Amino acid sequence: MFGLKPFRYLSQPIRILFMANAVVFAICFFSRTLHLDSLYSYLVGYGALVPVAYEQAWRYLTYAFIHVNFWHFAFNMFSLWMFGDDVAMAIGFRRFWILYIFCAVFAGLFSIPFYLFGAMSPMTFIIGASGALMGIFVAYARLFPDRMILMFFVIPMRIKHAIWIFIALDVFMAGSNDTIAHFTHLGGVLSGFLCMYFFEHDIWAKLRGEFQEKRRGKPKGTPEDPLEGEVRFLDNQKQLDMILKKVSESGVNSLSESEKSFLIRESERRRHGGFRGF
């Protein structure tokens, strides 16, 4: 019903994130169970995002890997498993890492002023991957707007509508003093929209290209720049390797029609030829 792949078939970024979060959760769980209070206090005390310690830069990333409650951990990893893999495959692994890390850091930065200068306590400990996952949820809604999900595990709804309900709930509950970091969620939403806007308009690539051209000292559009469609491969394996690398970095949607056709033809040829592992 939820469309979950077996773990071994998940994309590499999702498996890495899942295992990293699981290891940290296991350390927290067993340190509390075995009364190793110093280890638990050290991990949470130095890893959580604490508004009054806003100058400690590492916290803006480490907080996203810490879960101390089983249901908090389980729900976040379920969300990562359910939405993250499709996003990673659609935009490519490199862009997925940029999206995830950017959303985690931005969500933390965004929430700090609300705790320092608002009604919430500046001594609050903020933990969990929810901020980054809200960014992933936004990316999923941008990529697959008409896919259906079960809202609250009950109500079938298109993802493009569900995302706005989640945003409205976080806005409404932001000042409720409950145990949920609603401002961090909202920061994740905003950073998700920003990051996807950059990807959709290829701003990252343009900035990188301009920087590389300045380093080379070569004006844009000189003959050394290969024109799309001019490169031909005599070696099918080499072309296949280049296409698979492109998919890994930028997603399936980055392929041209000719590259997609070649990938399908090569897959069929190798399948009928008894080749395994492609």
Q: Is 197 in the same domain as 256?
A: no
Q: Is 149 in the same domain as 233?
A: no
The residues facing 149 across adjacent strands are 157
Q: Is 205 in the same domain as 137?
A: yes
Alpha helices in the chain (DSSP H): 12-33, 37-47, 59-62, 70-79, 85-91, 93-117, 130-143, 159-173, 182-200, 203-216, 236-250, 257-272
Q: Which of 56-65, 146-155, 223-232 has the lowest mean pLDDT?
A: 223-232
Q: Which of 12-26, 112-126, 129-143 has the lowest mean pLDDT?
A: 112-126
Q: Is 135 in the same domain as 234?
A: no
Contact by Cβ (8 Å): 61, 128: no
- Tell which residue, 79, 98, 84, 106, has the closest CA to residue 187: 106
Residue 145 has pLDDT above 80, yes or no: yes
> pLDDT tens-digit profile of 26-73?
999 999 888 888 898 999 999 999 988 889 999 999 999 999 999 999
Q: Is 18 in the same domain as 155?
A: yes
Contact by Cβ (8 Å): 249, 92: yes
Q: What is the pLDDT of residue 66?
A: 94
Q: Is 45 in the same domain as 170?
A: yes
* CATH (domain of 37): 1.20.1540.10
Which DSSP string corresponds to 143-167? Answer: HSTT-EEEETTTEEEEHHHHHHHHH
Does any domain span residue 120? yes
Residues of the chain with pLDDT > 70, as a percent, come to 77
Q: Is 239 in the same domain as 109?
A: no
Does any domain span residue 12? yes
Does any domain span residue 217? no
Residue 199 three-state SS: helix
Q: What is the pLDDT of residue 124?
A: 81
pLDDT, the chain, mean? 81
Does any domain span residue 278? no
Q: What is the pLDDT of residue 63?
A: 95
Q: What is the pLDDT of residue 14?
A: 95
Maximum mean pLDDT: which of 28-32, 177-181, 236-240: 28-32
Q: What is the DSSP letter of 125?
A: P
Does any domain span residue 2? no
Range of the domain at 256: 226-271
Tell me how far apart the alpha carbons of residues 54 and 259 are, in angstroms, rounded to a whole number.
Answer: 47
- Tell which residue, 255, 219, 250, 220, has the closest CA to residue 240: 255
Q: Mean pLDDT throughout 110-135?
A: 85
Residue 227 has pLDDT above 50, yes or no: no
Q: What is the pLDDT of residue 118?
A: 73
Q: Is 191 in the same domain as 263?
A: no
Does any domain span residue 261? yes
- What does DSSP say about strands 148-151 and 155-158: parallel, antiparallel, or unpaired? antiparallel
Structure tokens at 105: 């850091």
Q: How many CA atoms lie within 13 A of 234 on its CB side?
A: 0
What is the domain count for the chain? 2
Q: What is the pLDDT of residue 8?
A: 85
Residue 273 has pLDDT above 70, yes or no: no
Q: Is 262 in the same domain as 201?
A: no
Q: Is 155 in the same domain as 17?
A: yes
Contact by Cβ (8 Å): 218, 63: no
Tell me how far apart the alpha carbons of residues 188 and 191 are, in angstroms, rounded to a whole number.
Answer: 5
Q: Is 80 in the same domain as 186?
A: yes
Phi-psi region of 125 (alpha: psi -120 to 50; beta: other; left: phi over 0): beta
Residue 264 has pLDDT above 80, yes or no: no
Q: Is 239 in the same domain as 193?
A: no
Residue 222 has pLDDT above 50, yes or no: no
Q: Which of 1-15, 85-99, 232-246 has the lowest mean pLDDT?
A: 232-246
Q: What is the pLDDT of residue 16?
A: 96
Contact by Cβ (8 Å): 105, 169: no
Q: What is the pLDDT of residue 139?
A: 94
